Structure 1
């Protein structure tokens, strides 16, 4: 038997390494040229998360509750307090909830006319009105031409 130089296991290992390199490079080239799906959009944050302050007082319609306008006149004397109306609806009754929110604004009188309104689906239907301290950045001036502009920016 004649053994030739250069036919050992080192050459077989080098050949297998080269094959593995070519297969990996080919797979990476195909993966990078394939169209990539856009990353999934993050779930929307609940709208109620926009209300970052704790309520100072909460009103809800019920037996023995004062009328909304009377309650607002008694409790909401501080001009820094912001009126927030939250109406939840179930069973796809969004239109009824919207009408209820408008009715609460009307019942609340002038203090509720600049209220922040939130209508959202929920497990149970219901409405509540809360008073929260507004951020200093959004404080509404008492009078002057900037007062109407500030009210508009608060309503957004």
Structure 2
């Protein structure tokens, strides 16, 4: 459902007129257009969620191919700060492997880690590091 929402947003945004708004402030400088393209993501090869019987993240990653990109997704219902702290702890446990972190509001407090053969390219350059989130 999230992917469909994102696609709908991107299609809607792409059909908006590229002309300045008629009621824009007189003398306002136009905002430069930045090149944008959706990040290419492959399907995950492995998924990890904490729980009874699940190994710690560091142990789960020990046998994984180091060329795979680890994506951490942490959702929170109310406490954004705790979610960021949890994401930071998981990122530290991941070590030096390529990493993408997403912290977002959700219906509950969840954690999910996925491994995929995604190349960390320009699409991840816009993401803020966890240290910048403080």
Counterpart CA distance in 2 for 1:154 and 1:50 is 5
Larger Rg: 1
Alpha-carbon displacement from aligned partner over 1:9-60 (angstroms, at most 9, x marks no partner): xxxxxxxxxxxxxxxxxxxxxxxxxx9457xxxxxxxxxx857321110111
Task: Return the structure number with greater relative CO, CA threshold 8 A, min gap 6.
Answer: 2
TM-score by length of 2: 0.58
* Aligned positions of 1:3-22 closer than 5 A: none
CA contact (8 A) 1:115 1:155 kept: no
Aligned residues: 92
**1:106 CA displacement:** 1.6
- Decide whether aligned partners of structure 1 residues 86 and 50 sit closer, same or farther in structure 2, where only a CA change above 3 A counts: farther
- Which of the two has greater helix per residue? 1
Counterpart CA distance in 2 for 1:115 and 1:78 is 11
Give yes or no for the alignment of 1:107 onto 2:93.
Answer: yes
Q: Which residue of 1 aligns with 2:11?
A: none
Counterpart CA distance in 1 for 2:62 and 2:104 is 27
Superposition RMSD in Å: 2.6
Runs of 4+ displaced beyond 4 Å: 35-38
Q: Which runs of 5+ in 2 are unaligned?
A: 1-20, 25-37, 126-134
